[in-house]
Structure 1
Amino acid sequence: MRVTRCARTLCLWLTLATVSATADPKPLTVTYVGNTGYLIQCGGHKIAIDALLGGERSEYYDMPSDSVVALMTAARPPFDGLDVIAVTHWHQDHFSAGIVAEYLKGNSGCRLLCPQQVADRLSALDGYDGIRRQVRVIDIPVDSVTEVELDGVMAKVLSSKHGSYYETDSAGNTADRHRNVRHLEFLFTVGGRSLLHVGDAELQDRDQFMPLGLGKDSIDIAFIQRWGCKEMPSFGEKLIRERVRPKRIYFTHMAPKELAFLTQHADCPSYRYVTIPTRSLQTWIVP
């Protein structure tokens, strides 16, 4: 009986030690690519969120240069060894079908998480059959969540509405240009760290992050569309700080025309614990 109890005690201690070791947060490496695109490396895994894109640069979108795109397609550092590519939606300032397809063709161990509209654009390219098995389409109703596990990378994926953009036609009718866009938000857990990327979701509902289980405990990083420097915090800022509770915020949608203002006002109270990227491939280590 004593031997059995000792054995059970030993097993319990080993189990607790294993859980404790697994729960120890690993250092994070965060790399800004362009617009809303970031690379995250942690615990031997590497994730790209909205980070494989390219195209004409403008004052509204901070798109990667041709030299950075060449690194993507050749899978050279920092784009080497991606485990997961996550795409929030199909818009060209978040995703390039040709670049993603080229990467998947040369890296059979990489997996893509995306809405159906992204997969549709990939399927129109030659050679799609060769990468089809690497594509994981998330097709769930708006405001619902699914959980995905990919070789040690855990993700909660929320289907949400894209931010509205209203246009008026010649007849005077107003419609939301983005009403039919399928849009995803990602909450990744990797290496004991938690990371939220909201893509182009509007920050307007106090309960919008409840399906992801956010609000009770803080998370490590939130990638959020930039907000302005105001004397009083905006609703969006309060929502993120109070209902998501990230330890650190990284701004997205870094319009070149606004970069000078943002960097000059980096000490604004609204930018407390906010990282403002200033150039492509800028990298930070989060201990």
Structure 2
Amino acid sequence: MKKIAPLIATLLLATPASAHETHADATYMANEAVLVVQGDLKIMFDPFYQSGFGTYPEVPDDMMKKVMAQSAPFDGIDGIFVSHVHGDHFDGPQIYDYMQINRDVHVFLPEQGANYIRELARDDDQILKRLVSFKLTEGGAPQKQMRGDIEADAVRIPHSGWPTGRRDINNIVFRVTLNDGVTVMHMGDADINDQHYAPHEEHWRAKHTHQAFPPYWYFGNEEGRSILTQRLKVGHATGIHVPIKLPRKLAVSDYDYFSKPGESRVIYLPEPTDDIGDIGQ
């Protein structure tokens, strides 16, 4: 049985880092799709994708209907983040359709995905101006984009399988701060190798990440755990990209992870500390 990290109890007593909100809420949609809400700000990570290919869960039909109808809790979505252009993370036509419905949403994504949607949108300037693309290179400097009260930092970390495969895929680790309050990190399918992270040490230390969403396989790997706790120093981590058939080692572990659509976590806002962080064990 999964356990929510003991850190949660202590966070209840912590002084909030934001003067506006004391917490945020994360709701699991499926695979690597997560809704994060702080106050009036709402963002989704990887909500639209072509298929789970029979291995990974897909967003339930009733939930996706709410997304497209902009029904609670998916009303007033301010930002969508795309970690990378793979069929189980990205569906260009569906994103385009949603941008036509929600004329206020900004979409943060790698240039690969932006080019695809630009082809669909063509002369629709109202959509084109809401694409927030990142042209990142492997080992290149982080980039920052601001849209309203959304601050998005992006670093290209190679897709899992590096160095022999998928090097053409621009996988982004997003660190997103909402309204100067909660900071969350979505890692896409980031490869487990500290040599990708070490050159960006100053970037990781510049801001405290309250909640990270790494692919679950980071928990079962010593270097992966070290990246989360020692390098990124995240406050808490909840694993995503969990297969439909739950890996036994994960099921019997104390690590925190999402596996059922509709699950949720509360993200409290403690003051940044110098401890090594918590990944749910």
TM-score (norm 2): 0.78
Q: Aligned match of 2:194 in 196, 205, 213? A: 205
Q: Give the Cα separation in 1 of the matches to 2:184 and 2:195.
A: 19
Question: Are residue 147 (structure 1) and residue 139 (structure 2) matched?
Answer: no
Q: 1:229 to 1:242 in 2, by over 3 A?
A: closer
Q: Which AA in structure 2 matches 1:241? A: T
Q: Aligned match of 1:226 in 182, 196, 216? A: 216
Q: Aligned match of 1:131 in 124, 127, 141? A: 127
Q: Give the Cα separation in 2 of the matches to 1:207 and 1:90.
A: 20
Q: 1:229 to 1:27 in 2, by over 3 A?
A: closer
Question: Are residue 78 (structure 1) and residue 59 (structure 2) matched?
Answer: no
Q: Which AA in structure 2 matches 1:235? A: E
Deviations 1:48-81 (A, max 9, x none): 11122353551x2122122222222222222221
Which one has the bigger strand percentage? 1
Q: 1:206 to 1:177 in 2, by over 3 A?
A: closer
- Between structure 1 and structure 2, the one with the greater Rg is 1
Question: Where do 1:83-122 residues align within 5 Å?
Answer: 83-122=78-117
In structure 1, runs of 5+ residues without a counterpart are 1-19, 167-175
Q: 1:23 to 1:40 in 2, by over 3 A?
A: same
2:26 maps to which residue?
30
Percent identity reads 22
Q: Which of 1 and 2 has higher RCO (CA within 8 Å, sep 6+)? A: 2
Q: Any idea what SS the aligned residue of 2:157 has?
A: strand
Q: CA RMSD in A?
A: 2.7
- Is contact 2:158–2:196 with CA below 8 Å preserved after alignment? no
In structure 2, runs of 5+ residues without a counterpart are 1-15, 269-281
Aligned residues: 249
Question: Where do 1:48-67 residues align within 5 Å?
Answer: 48-55=44-51, 58=54, 60-67=55-62
Report the more deviating stretch, 215-224 or 101-110: 215-224
Q: Aligned match of 2:204 in 214, 218, 235? A: 214
Q: Aligned match of 2:64 in 54, 63, 69? A: 69
Q: Any idea what SS the aligned residue of 2:250 has?
A: helix
Question: Where do 1:184-195 residues align within 5 Å?
Answer: 184-191=172-179, 192-195=181-184
